[in-house]
Amino acid sequence: MILLNEDTKCLVQGITGKQGSFHTEQMLNYNTNIVAGITPGKGGQKFMDRVPIFNSIEEAKEEVDINASIIFVPARFAKDAAFEAIRHLDLVVIISEHIPVHDSMKIMAYAQEMDTTIIGPNTPGIISPGVGKLGIMPTHIFKEGNVGVISRSGTLTYEIASELTNAGIGQSTAVGIGGDPVTGDNYVDILKRFEKDDATDAVVLIGEIGGTAEERAGKFIAEEMSKPVVSYIAGRTAPPGKRMGHAGAIIQGNSGTVASKTKALNEAGVDVAEKPSEIVDLLKKVM
């Protein structure tokens, strides 16, 4: 497993909000190690009578050992919340969506400066079946196993994880890198982690139209990956110039199309499924 393991001690920023409280309860039910929550002005309270709430991360760190954060605050407060987390922690998962691009650029620049790993924004998060989840994904569709999953799309992650699980193929970790034009860890960053991970034997890369992230992943796979990778690219029928779903899913000119991504991945030895349901058969061929 990568990013999330038994040593991950996480706090929730925005724990008392509607989304934060709902998903914190789900994460706790999945045995995720949530050790604190942050809501300014509500320090001293407890969430579900077990998770202490603090006014700031600095305050929390004086009392609790923490190394990760998951952010559920509204978009307009996300940059400040992310900066606070980056200043103190090693891993920050930003669930929030609709964060302005210039805010995301500042967040990523600061994270790079501080050597903090960012997942997101606009991500379903991370799940390591059997260990925990820092995110919003439904846990019943995942099972423990040895296939890593990387995706820009939450819904497609769920669909393909469900196909894998139903076929008896478990997952080591599934990571949603986020669907915005500017995100933290990208496909290559996560592929590097899976390549080094003893618990991962193969990887499913779920892409979509827009940008060149999948093409860059293909280059890395060709040059650096020893483990087999299979892929699915969403957006076969998308018209050029029209945004489809995610802010990052837009074709401009000849780049960012399903054809250009498929070509780059095929050249790297990656079989690309035409339908999500074909992923299981492609995996069985390479494992």
Angle, vertex CA 140, rays to CA 136 and CA 141, nearest 5 = 90
Pairing of strands 144-151, 202-208: parallel
Separation in Å, CA 36 to CA 13, 19, 30, 108, 146: 9, 16, 16, 24, 30
- CA 246, CA 125: separation in Å to the nearest integer? 16
Distance CA 270, CA 117 (A): 27
In the beta sheet, which residues pair with residue 156?
none
Contact assessment for residue 250 and residue 242, using Cβ atoms and an 8 Å cutoff: yes
Active site residue 140: no
Query: Which residue type, as a one-letter code, is found at position 166?
Result: N
Token pair, residue 280, equals 């299981």
β partners of residue 248:
none
Question: How far apart, in whole angstroms, are the C-alpha atoms of residue 51 and residue 37?
Answer: 7
Whole-angstrom CA distances from 37 to 71, 212, 214, 259 are: 10, 37, 35, 45
Q: How far apart are CA 25 and CA 15, in angstroms?
A: 10
Q: Which of 23, 88, 140, 246 is catalytic?
A: 246
DSSP letters, 205-218, are EEEESSSSHHHHHH
Catalytic residues: 246
